[in-house]
Amino acid sequence: DTGVSQNPRHKITKRGQNVTFRCDPISEHNRLYWYRQTLGQGPEFLTYFQNEAQLEKSRLLSDRFSAERPKGSFSTLEIQRTEQGDSAMYLCASSLRGAGSGSYEQYFGPGTRLTVT
C-alpha cells in the first residue's frame, strides 16, 4: 500500500453514461497525476496538478474528460458520454515536489478499471 487510494476499484458502465473516479493522494504531496493504461501497454500520461492548479493536459484528454483537484487535496476524473475505447485502467499518482531542480518519485494508487459495454 503506497498511501494513494482510488475509488472505485472497478466500474462497469454502458456506453454513453458518465463516470467519475476519485483519487486520494498522500496527504502532504503537492503534485497529483492521472494516467491511463490499456492492456499490454505502459501507462500514458493524461494530466497533472500542482496543488489545485491543473498545469498540463495531454492530447489524449478529449473534451469528454475533465479533472479537478479542489483545495489541492483529492482529485476527481470525470468521463462524459463514455465510449468503448475509454475502457482502460485509470491510475493516479502523487509526488512531493520541492523547490529547485531534481527528480522526485511518484507513488501510484491501485487504479480504477473501467469497462464500457
Partner 1 sequence: DAKTTQPNSMESNEEEPVHLPCNHSTISGTDYIHWYRQLPSQGPEYVIHGLTSNVNNRMASLAIAEDRKSSTLILHRATLRDAAVYYCILRDGDFGNEKLTFGTGTRLTIIP
The residue type found at 105 is E
Q: Binder to partner 1 among 2, 17, 115, 117 (CB under 8 A)?
A: 2
**Would you give the end-to-end CA distance of the chain in angstroms?**
30
3-state secondary structure of 94: strand
Rounded CA gap, 104 and 116, in Å? 34
Q: Strand, helix or coil at 114?
A: strand
Evaluate the CA torsion angle 23, 58, 87, 44 in order and state its sign. negative
User: Segment contacting partner 1 (CB under 8 A): 13-21, 59-67, 70-78, 101-109?
Assistant: 101-109
What mask, x for binding partner 1 by CB under 8 A, covers residues 42 to 81?
xxxx--x------xx-------------------------
Q: How many residues bind to partner 1 according to rule CB under 8 A? A: 29
Q: Is 28 in the site for partner 1 (CB under 8 A)?
A: no
The reply to whether 114 sits near partner 1 by the rule CB under 8 A is no
81 Cβ contact list (under 8 Å, min separation 6): 16, 17, 18, 64
Distance of closest approach, residue 2 Cβ to partner 1, in angstroms: 7
Q: Where does this chain bind partner 1 (CB under 8 A)? A: 2, 4, 31, 33, 35, 40-45, 48, 55-56, 91, 93, 95, 97, 101-111
